[in-house]
Amino acid sequence: MSAPKRKALGRGLAALIPSAPVPTAAAPPAAARRALDGTRTISVEEIHPSPGQPRTVFDGARLDELAASIKTQGIIQPLIVRLRAAGGYELIAGERRWRAAQRAGLHEVPAVVRDVAPTQAFEMALVENLQREDLNPLEEAAGYERLVSEFGYTQEQLSERVGKDRSTVANALRLLRLPASVRDLLAGGKLSMGQARALLGLETPAAIERLARQAIARELSVRRVEELVRRERAGKPEPPSTSAPAPSASARDLGLRLTRTFGTRVEVLEKGAGRGQIAIHYHSLDQLDALLEKLQPS
């Protein structure tokens, strides 16, 4: 059942998690026979999202982009579904495509119907999102935690199933120990995964929250956060700051106006003699894309 650690994701879902064989003791009912026919066209109204979908955040702007692409090109990669006991089909993989198809006005979508158990269905949904790097760090960690707690996987088994190193899985699971407020900062892209992992070296939730706020406000690197964590654990105070002089009133005013224009923090850094720099901060790739659209209008 297990696949090589580094090659699993590249082999595709069908190779990683094969379908269960069709029972031969008795002919399946008509609905089951239809469901096992493989690829078919299914009404979007017959498809229902899985309550166990690992991905919980769907960016509206990206869904609109995907919907525009679907209007022009159609759905190139079919959805993967399974039969629902209550009727219709349950999504295993492709919820973004299903949502975008509805925005595009499609009434039917191509889908591959698979006869798989709930455990396999959840694995397939998790692996598909990991292949596309669609999950934020906490969604990934929550998916791993569910496979461990609900389905009894060890970390070693889990690393084999999803094609990730055991250390990667272990580090992801550790993120769930962060305080809720810090998990929100990580999910929102304000805190990086490296910074979050470093913060786990602190002993109390209050200390983690305090240093997380500092890391964001001062835009600290992962190495700097690690250094501050080591100092705090050793009981050593942070050395005096050697920050640059405060900006002039005109530089602050210009920075505020640019911040309002771009919707993110902008700093005007004065170098003297009429020279300087403008620093535009972003906290996610989506925010960077939005900034580039403003800076490079078509």
pLDDT computed for residue 209 by the predictor = 92
Which residue has 């983690």 as its token pair? 208
What whole-number distance in Å separates Cα of residue 89 and Cα of residue 95?
A: 12
What whole-number distance in Å separates Cα of residue 172 and Cα of residue 194?
A: 11
pLDDT computed for residue 184 by the predictor = 87
State phi, psi for 38 to the nearest 5 degrees. 95, -140
Q: Which of 46, 65, 95, 123 is catalytic?
A: 95
User: What ranges do the domains of the chain cover?
Assistant: 9-173, 179-234, 249-286
Q: Does 95 qualify as catalytic in the annotation?
A: yes
Residue 55 tokens read as: 């991905």
Q: Which of 108, 173, 183, 109 is nearest to 140 (CA)?
A: 173
**Tens of pLDDT along the chain (298 residues)?**
444 443 333 333 333 333 333 333 333 444 444 444 467 888 989 998 877 665 666 777 878 888 888 888 888 788 888 888 888 888 888 888 888 888 888 898 989 888 777 777 777 777 666 655 566 788 788 878 877 877 788 888 878 877 778 888 888 888 888 998 998 888 888 888 889 999 998 988 999 999 999 998 888 889 999 999 998 888 776 655 555 566 778 888 888 888 888 888 888 887 766 778 888 888 777 778 788 888 877 6
What whole-number distance in Å separates Cα of residue 246 and Cα of residue 127?
A: 48
Q: Which of 166, 154, 219, 208 is nearest to 184 (CA)?
A: 208
Q: Which of 142, 151, 134, 145 is nearest to 93 (CA)?
A: 134
pLDDT computed for residue 19 by the predictor = 39
Classify residue 29 by burial, with Cβ atoms within 10 Å: 0-12, 13-18, 19+.
Answer: exposed
What whole-number distance in Å separates Cα of residue 198 and Cα of residue 207?
A: 12
Classify residue 191 by burial, with Cβ atoms within 10 Å: 0-12, 13-18, 19+.
Answer: buried
- The DSSP letter of residue 268 is E
pLDDT computed for residue 208 by the predictor = 92
What whole-number distance in Å separates Cα of residue 96 and Cα of residue 250?
A: 46
- In CATH, what class is 9-173? alpha beta
**Sequence-separated (6 or more) residues with CB below 8 Å from residue 93:** 13, 79, 80, 124, 125, 128, 129
Residue 172 tokens read as: 């992801």
